[in-house]
Structure formats: C-alpha cells, structure tokens
Amino acid sequence: MMQHDAKAGSVYLIGAGPGDPDLLTLKAARLIQQADVIVYDNLVSTAVLNMAQASAERIYAGKRRGNHALPQEELSQLLVRLAKDMRKVVRLKGGDPYIFGRGGEEAEVLAAHHVPFEVVPGITAAAGVAAYAGIPLTHRDHAQSCVFVTGHLKDGSMDLDWAGLARPKQTVAIYMGLTGLPYLCEKLIEHGLPADWPAAIVQQGTTPQQRTVVGTLATLPRLTEEAGLRAPTLILVGQVVTLRQKLAWKEECY
C-alpha cells in the first residue's frame, strides 16, 4: 500500500464524505491523523474531527446559509499563512472538495502563492446519499445520465438550464435546494417534466439521522414541509427514485 505522509508547509484539501465516518478514504484518514492544524466546515462530522491528534489545532471555518463564519478570501489567506508557518495543514470539507465545496477557489489561491497542496477526493453527497437511500443514480432502464446542480436561491430564483434538466432518462441531484424546493419543482414541470415525475429528498444522508421523503414534483414540496425536514438535504429527481421501494436498506420507507 502506498503510504502518504503529510509534509510540513503543505495544504491537504480533503473531502470528508457525506457524514458516515466510515466513508472516509484511507488517504484522508491518514492525513487527518498527521495534521497539526485542521480547518473544517460545518458539514464535517465530529467523528471525523475526533480522528485528529488531541494536540491538533482545530479552526472552524463554517459556512451556514447566509452566515459565513470566515469570508472566503480570508479563509484562503489563512491557509496560505498556516502553510508558510510550516504547519501540516488539513483543509477538511464535507463530501468532495471540488463539488460545490469552493475547493477550486482555495486551490487557486494556494497555487498563486506557490503553496504546495494536494487534493483528496471524497464521496460527494449525491453518491453517498443515493446509495444509502436505495436510489441508484443511473440505471439502464431509467437514467443514462446524472447531473449535479446547486439549488441555492439567489434573489428568489435559480440560474439553471431548465430545459437541460427537465429531460427523461436523466437523474438530477440538487444540492442546497431545500429552501428553493417549491420553485425547483414548479420550473421542472413548466419545462416539460410530468407533475407525477418521481422525486425524493434526503436529510442528513448516511448518518443515523437520515430521513427520506418520496413523492412527485407535484407533491414533494408539501410532503417535505409536513415532515419538517432540515438542511443538509439532497434532492433527487428522476425515475430511479421508484427503485427505492425495492432497494431501501438503511431506513424504512414512508
């Protein structure tokens, strides 16, 4: 097995996966154990953080909707500073660092400052959540493609290619879409998907708190509200959602 030791003065941009600490890669686990400083966001589970040495400094860089603990620019500068101080720096993010995680922006700043860095991919929410919810992202009978989009509402709308999303034989995985769910469903129907097109939303997937609500584009917003789901949630739209009836293994269907 290839061993990998953290180097002083380097930054490791690491994906911590969607929640279940067992979904961490071996490389991530090894580097976390060797770090002397860990800069983490709010989606990183405590169990993962607890793998670090007791002496490791932990810096919360959290990002909750509308409440950025540290502005992105300051955060990137902090990583540069810690590396220049010859620390072993781990930048820990939920899921995969390069999927809706601003890992790309942080890496750009590190590169501009000639700070050596490595990227350790993680299991992104769509992959982890779909697996634990019993919903294959692709399936020969139901979906030949899968797209990942952000459903973050900006000024009450989403800047998405609706025609490209509202397609049969495709699965759409929507990150950060809880608040915008009614808008999202409405737009997909408007652009041609049937109102009874299958859709599901999963809260805190892969954790013991995982909850899934299944419905259609027409019913999901109401069902989600009734169930009182809270972020983080992942929305999955497409015929593959129907497979959950047979394939759910982690929690009961309801």
Question: What residue ranges bind ligand SAH (CB under 6 A)?
Answer: 18-19, 43, 93-96, 99-101, 124-125, 129, 175-176, 202, 204-206, 231-234
Minimal distance, residue 87 CB to ligand SAH, in Å: 23
Minimal distance, residue 129 CB to ligand SAH, in Å: 5
Minimal distance, residue 97 CB to ligand SAH, in Å: 6
Cis check: omega of the bond before 232, within 30 degrees of 0: yes
The closest of 148, 160, 168, 145 to 217, measured between CA atoms, is 168
Residue 41 falls in the annotated catalytic set: yes
Q: Which residues contact 115 (CB under 8 A, 6 or more apart)?
A: 9, 10, 11, 79, 80, 83, 84
Give whichever of 35 and 43 is closer to ligand SAH, judged by the CB atom: 43
Minimal distance, residue 252 CB to ligand SAH, in Å: 18
Q: Indicate which residue of 63, 88, 93, 187 is catalytic.
A: 63
Q: Indicate which residue of 41, 88, 93, 96 is catalytic.
A: 41
Check: CB of residue 202 under 8 Å from CB of residue 234: yes
Q: Which residue is nearest to ligand SAH (CB)?
A: 95
Give whichever of 87 and 236 is closer to ligand SAH, judged by the CB atom: 236
The closest of 224, 129, 216, 126 to 178, measured between CA atoms, is 224
Query: What is the set of active-site residues?
Result: 41, 63
